[in-house]
């Protein structure tokens, strides 16, 4: 029997103190469509073997990314993760490690995080990086808050082609911090990033490269425009493998680079856990959220590592903290760092080229299907197709034929008039047979 220490009277006293009439009021911010009453399909009581059989049957209804041709992207990418990565992160020294409050007994963890920061800074072309964040979307939201602190302005301008999940998180966090978050409308395949007017009230401009539709751009000219207005340029990267081939955001003039690290060292995993990346110019170091591991020497002059800077509310007064991020994605950061170390610079470049080449091959095969039009002029490993019909319905029909073709734009932008667009991604995982199966299934569905 579970230990539930609070009686009805105590619960009512707690609810009254909070100022709500019932427990359901505590979930008022969760949309009704996202709530579920009861435990559907689960019996009230069964034996252990019966429960295992029931749960196993439910799990078998899922389709994993490795069960067939898989071309889903939109911020979560399936790449090959070497067995070495999983072996090393499951060593007890790493798997059970927690926040390294005592550096004298946490040197291994601190050194790994220090090396992770170095890798992220070099990948993004920035001068400093933190020891990771929750995921890409929260990193984006924290970038908006940081820009508001640095510039002392209260308006963030978001690209229309920023991932809508990132946009929503930035809007939520900004709203509670008094930052106005304005987002332009999406424009698939646009030559220039859709933005609003950059003025004296703008704290930052947030763009994504490649954007949600897969288009690649050089933001150097935009960076100059943003800086002339006294604002900061935030560049979001949801596919870290692209940094092995594309010009780095730092080289384009970005002030803050944030994004998702899942694509290196971490599985797709039905949505998590993921890994937030965050890198900056050194002059803004003390406004960066999260924490930083630094290199030092001990009393005898020996090299060592410590938590150099930690600006989170757990360590200092809440009103002076730059962030309420209370931990990092340490194990995912370790997986990222191990995989990137195994690849090395040459390996990452080779992997990035292979992704790009596979995407171009897939483009050629799909564009040859009657009625299909390619929206992008440039891409890395992800692109958008215009289909002769409802992309969501066509995607379901392709799934029935064993091909997980991508993400319909209408799923990300309901009611925006993008119902005929399909966002699809190719990586080194996809074989010639996978691409042929996709093209053949699409031809059959559209015939």
Q: What is the pLDDT of residue 369?
A: 97
pLDDT digits (tens, 9 = 90+) for 51-94: 899 889 988 988 888 899 999 999 999 999 999 999 999 998 88
- Extract the runs of DSSP E, i.e. beta strands, from 261-416: 276-280, 291-297, 303-310, 373-374, 382-386, 407-408
Low-confidence ranges of the chain (pLDDT < 50): 1
Alpha carbon distance 140, 378 (integer Å): 24
Are 215 and 378 within 8 A, CB to CB? yes
Alpha carbon distance 323, 132 (integer Å): 13
Angle of helix 432-446 relative to helix 391-400, nearest 10 degrees, comes to 120
Are 156 and 129 within 8 A, CB to CB? no
Alpha carbon distance 302, 299 (integer Å): 7
Q: What is the pLDDT of residue 1?
A: 47
List domains and CATH numbers for the chain: 66-80+345-446 (3.90.1150.10), 83-339 (3.40.640.10)
């Amino acid at each position: 029997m579970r230990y539930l220490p609070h009686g009805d009277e105590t619960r009512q006293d707690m609810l009254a103190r909070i100022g709500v009439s019932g427990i359901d009021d505590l979930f008022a911010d969760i949309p009704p469509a996202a709530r579920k009453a009861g435990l559907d399909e689960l019996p009230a009581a069964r034996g252990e073997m019966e429960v295992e059989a029931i749960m196993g049957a439910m799990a078998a209804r899922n389709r994993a990314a490795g069960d067939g041709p898989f071309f889903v992207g939109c911020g979560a990418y399936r790449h090959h993760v070497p067995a070495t990565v999983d072996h090393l992160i499951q060593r007890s020294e790493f798997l059970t490690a927690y926040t390294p409050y005592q550096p004298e007994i946490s040197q291994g963890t601190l050194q790994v995080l220090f090396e992770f920061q170095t890798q992220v800074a070099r990948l993004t072309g920035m001068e400093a990086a933190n020891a990771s964040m929750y995921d890409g979307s929260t990193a984006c939201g924290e970038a908006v808050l940081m820009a508001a602190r640095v510039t002392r302005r209260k308006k963030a301008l978001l690209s229309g082609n920023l991932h809508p999940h990132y946009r929503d998180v930035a809007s939520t966090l900004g709203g509670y911090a008094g930052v106005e978050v304005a987002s332009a409308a999406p424009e698939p395949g646009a030559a220039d990033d859709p933005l609003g007017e950059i003025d004296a009230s703008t704290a930052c401009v947030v763009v994504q490269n490649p954007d949600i539709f897969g288009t690649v751009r050089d933001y150097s000219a935009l960076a100059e425009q943003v800086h002339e207005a006294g604002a900061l340029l935030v560049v979001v990267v949801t596919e870290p493998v692209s940094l092995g081939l594309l010009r780095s955001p730092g080289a384009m003039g970005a002030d803050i680079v944030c994004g998702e690290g899942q694509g290196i060292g971490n599985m797709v995993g039905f949505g998590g856990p993921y890994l937030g990346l965050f890198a900056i110019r050194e002059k803004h170091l003390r406004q960066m959220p999260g924490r930083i591991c630094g290199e030092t020497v001990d009393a005898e002059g020996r090299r060592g590592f410590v938590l150099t800077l930690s600006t989170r509310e757990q360590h200092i007064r809440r009103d002076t903290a730059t962030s309420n991020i209370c931990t990092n994605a340490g194990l995912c950061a370790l997986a990222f760092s191990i995989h990137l170390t195994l690849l090395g610079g040459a390996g990452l470049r080779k992997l990035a080229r292979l992704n790009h080449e596979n995407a171009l091959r897939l483009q050629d095969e799909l564009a040859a299907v009657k009625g299909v039009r390619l929206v992008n002029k440039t891409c890395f490993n992800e692109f958008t197709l215009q289909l002769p019909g409802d992309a969501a319905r066509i995607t379901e029909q392709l799934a029935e034929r064993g091909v997980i073709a991508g993400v319909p734009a209408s799923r990300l932008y309901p009611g925006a008039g993008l119902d005929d667009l399909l966002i699809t991604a190719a990586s080194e995982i996809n074989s010639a047979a996978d691409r042929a199966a996709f093209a053949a299934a699409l031809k059959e569905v559209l015939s």
